[in-house]
A and B are shown apart, each in its own frame.
Chain A
């Protein structure tokens, strides 16, 4: 069997996993909070993007007709901006609730966001029903291409490139901006942050919103591959959580590496037993965490208390 396509497929899948985990990681990093609603916000982003692209807006019919005359590429680009921003607003509302749990046992934040995940998912069902939707993408990034006598989906390359770009930008943001420095400090020592005269409350709100925005972006990128359905939130949040635990809490490159590793394992095991490929990531996690308490490169954190 030629494994190369499966390996390439695994790497693109891994980049998508890393993209899904990015926002989750920021929130864990700064607030030591597990945001179980991350997946639902990811789904919400995809649904909102679908609404924007397909023009199913609660607007006068003529406006919608006008909007649909705009080329798909432009509508898609608009969705890529509007949907994450709207989702980030929802994230900010959630943060107003979550902030009550800071400093308490992280279990409360976990439970609260679990409730929020339920609520968002039910809202999605209420508004859009349980059917699947397909997010239309511009022709320039859809379709396929052929090399090595194999058909490759153009969209997957686009998605992988988008993920790499997003990972790079988030890394630059964390490493090269003063905000990033604060985010890194904030995770370990909120006193230093306060001493620097930074409004930690506001910083947390913005970081949570940013994390949500990344979740929504991931949702939009993944939507054409997974389809848009209410359950996609759970399908995203469990791998995101898994990747953070595997990579180690508080480690950026640990998480990225874990994402790619998970993608590879799922992709390659899919070559042999496609039915069971989802199991492989859990087995990978159990194998790693059994021997390395904090994943591949984690630091000590409140989450162990």
Chain B
């Protein structure tokens, strides 16, 4: 993982301001480019999901290939909690994160002493278990018909309350959550805890022999990532006003891996965000022309894995390294957007 330079000590970095700023302006121009605000909601939610996934893949080197399970559990937990326990937004989001964290804790207990492909496969197996359960528990989840009639409860901040039924207001709400997640994750990855996660990624043996309980780090970060994925899933249930099992399938679990890798999650904090945006924009742009958009995205993914596993962010970092000195104007822009 690349060093984050002096930005590492900051609570809010220029890059965060730039990204959230650009996203905040999205409803103003998204209609003009032939898209619609709802895609903004999807991009931001999947960005949160991909960021939390990258805590495992990019920072700790843990290939969790069944991660859709926790996103899906978050979505179902949000809906079920709303319909059966408390209808408020905050308790529902807490339930989404909590349920996914719980599932993550159980799975992590089984897999945290594993490595490599075995780890990857165990996560796939657990992901399939949750997926099958979601499909077959028709009475609870609605099976393949989905859990329907999930409400977009208002965001109540005590003094003010925002109605989220409109897509633009929901967009600003998820963007707000995204900003909080960004700040929190940036703190986390630059903290001692985050540093040790990166150490575990590079060399488990070494980390153990200088006194770190590697198992505990792999265990805790998995649960943490599951919780955040569940939060994203809860938001997704709200956006869709329903929850379906397909986000838990192997395909969807693969999508978040593709996003993260293409964006450059291996070398950059921002990789998952770039990847999520690219993935969803490509889906709509290519999808408008051909139904086989996944074919083209799959090919792009293969090319990235073959020739540039560091993804778009890695390519950007290379450009900065080579061209930064020659073109000061561009370099300043790059400093703002950095790797």
| Direct A–B contact in complex, judged by CB atoms less than 8 Å apart | yes
How far apart sit A278 and B306, CA to CA, in the bound complex (Å)? Answer: 34
Tell me if A141 is interfacial: C-beta within 8 Å of chain B: no
B291-314: CB near A (< 8 Å → 1, else 0) gives: 110110111011001100100000
B129 near A279 with CB under 8 A, answer yes
B132 near A119 with CB under 8 A, answer no
Scoring B114, B121, B126, B129 by chain A CB atoms within 10 A of each residue's CB, the highest score goes to: B121
Cβ 8 A contact of A108, one of B110, B257, B299, B309: B309
Given contacts A112-B305, A114-B257, is CB(A242)–CB(B121) below 8 Å?
Answer: yes
How far apart sit A31 and B257, CA to CA, in the bound complex (Å)? Answer: 23
Tell me if A110 is interfacial: C-beta within 8 Å of chain B: yes
Chain A residues positioned under 8 Å from B299 (CB to CB): 115, 119
A97 near B118 with CB under 8 A, answer no
Given contacts A126-B292, A126-B295, A275-B136, is CB(A245)–CB(B118) below 8 Å?
Answer: yes
A303 near B117 with CB under 8 A, answer yes
Chain A residues positioned under 8 Å from B291 (CB to CB): 125-126
Tell me if B188 is interfacial: C-beta within 8 Å of chain A: no
Question: Nearest Cβ in chain B — how far from A222, in angstroms?
Answer: 19
Within 8 A of A (CB), among B113-135: 114-118, 120-122, 124-126, 128-129, 132-133
B136 near A241 with CB under 8 A, answer no
How far apart sit A114 and B252, CA to CA, in the bound complex (Å)? Answer: 12
A250-287: CB near B (< 8 Å → 1, else 0) gives: 00000000000000000000000001101100110110
How far apart sit A238 and B120, CA to CA, in the bound complex (Å)? Answer: 12
Chain B residues positioned under 8 Å from A224 (CB to CB): none
Tell me if B261 is interfacial: C-beta within 8 Å of chain A: yes
A89-109: CB near B (< 8 Å → 1, else 0) gives: 000000001001100001110
Within 8 A of A (CB), among B131-164: 132-133, 136
Given contacts A278-B132, A286-B122, is CB(A304)–CB(B116) below 8 Å?
Answer: yes
A305 near B294 with CB under 8 A, answer no
How far apart sit A70 and B249, CA to CA, in the bound complex (Å)? Answer: 42
How far apart sit A242 and B258, CA to CA, in the bound complex (Å)? Answer: 22
Tell me if B251 is interfacial: C-beta within 8 Å of chain A: yes
Scoring A118, A125, A278 by chain B CB atoms within 10 A of each residue's CB, the highest score goes to: A118
Scoring B115, B261, B309 by chain A CB atoms within 10 A of each residue's CB, the highest score goes to: B309
Tell me if B250 is interfacial: C-beta within 8 Å of chain A: yes
How far apart sit A275 and B138, CA to CA, in the bound complex (Å)? Answer: 11
> Chain A interface secondary structure, helix, strand, loop or mixed?
helix
Chain B residues positioned under 8 Å from A234 (CB to CB): 249-251
Given contacts A100-B306, A110-B120, is CB(A279)–CB(B133) below 8 Å?
Answer: yes
Tell me if B63 is interfacial: C-beta within 8 Å of chain A: yes
Q: Which residue of A lies closest to B302 (CB)?
A: A115
How far apart sit A122 and B291, CA to CA, in the bound complex (Å)? Answer: 9
Chain A residues positioned under 8 Å from B257 (CB to CB): 111, 114
Q: Number of B residues whose C-beta is below 8 Å from A?
A: 37
Tell me if A293 is interfacial: C-beta within 8 Å of chain B: yes
Given contacts A108-B305, A112-B306, A118-B294, is CB(A304)–CB(B132) below 8 Å?
Answer: no
Q: Number of A residues whose C-beta is below 8 Å from B?
A: 40
Given contacts A106-B116, A293-B118, is CB(A111)–CB(B136) below 8 Å?
Answer: no
Chain A residues positioned under 8 Å from B324 (CB to CB): none
Given contacts A107-B120, A110-B120, A241-B124, is CB(A122)–CB(B292) below 8 Å?
Answer: yes
Chain B residues positioned under 8 Å from A108 (CB to CB): 305, 309
A115 near B117 with CB under 8 A, answer no
Tell me if A123 is interfacial: C-beta within 8 Å of chain B: yes
Tell me if A34 is interfacial: C-beta within 8 Å of chain B: yes
Chain A residues positioned under 8 Å from B128 (CB to CB): 238, 282
B305 near A111 with CB under 8 A, answer yes
Scoring A34, A293, A303, A305 by chain B CB atoms within 10 A of each residue's CB, the highest score goes to: A303
Scoring B126, B250, B297 by chain A CB atoms within 10 A of each residue's CB, the highest score goes to: B250
How far apart sit A20 and B292, CA to CA, in the bound complex (Å)? Answer: 27
Question: Nearest Cβ in chain A — how far from B127, in angstroms?
Answer: 10
Chain B residues positioned under 8 Å from A118 (CB to CB): 251, 254, 294-295, 297-298, 301
Given contacts A241-B124, A275-B136, A293-B118, is CB(A286)–CB(B302) below 8 Å?
Answer: no
Chain B residues positioned under 8 Å from A278 (CB to CB): 132
Tell me if A116 is interfacial: C-beta within 8 Å of chain B: yes
B306 near A245 with CB under 8 A, answer no
Chain A residues positioned under 8 Å from B306 (CB to CB): 97, 100-101, 112
Tell me if A290 is interfacial: C-beta within 8 Å of chain B: yes
Q: Which residue of B lies closest to A294 (CB)?
A: B118
How far apart sit A283 and B116, CA to CA, in the bound complex (Å)? Answer: 21
Question: Nearest Cβ in chain A — how far from B293, in angstroms?
Answer: 8
B129 near A282 with CB under 8 A, answer yes
Tell me if A72 is interfacial: C-beta within 8 Å of chain B: no
| Residues of B near any A CB (own CB < 8 A) | 63, 110, 114-118, 120-122, 124-126, 128-129, 132-133, 136, 249-251, 254, 257-258, 261, 291-292, 294-295, 297-299, 301-302, 305-306, 309
7 tightest A-B CB contacts, nearest first: A118-B298, A122-B295, A303-B117, A119-B298, A115-B302, A115-B301, A112-B305
Beyond A97-B302, A302-B116, list 11 extra A-B contacts (CB 8 Å). A101-B305, A110-B117, A118-B297, A123-B295, A241-B124, A242-B121, A279-B129, A279-B132, A283-B129, A286-B110, A304-B117
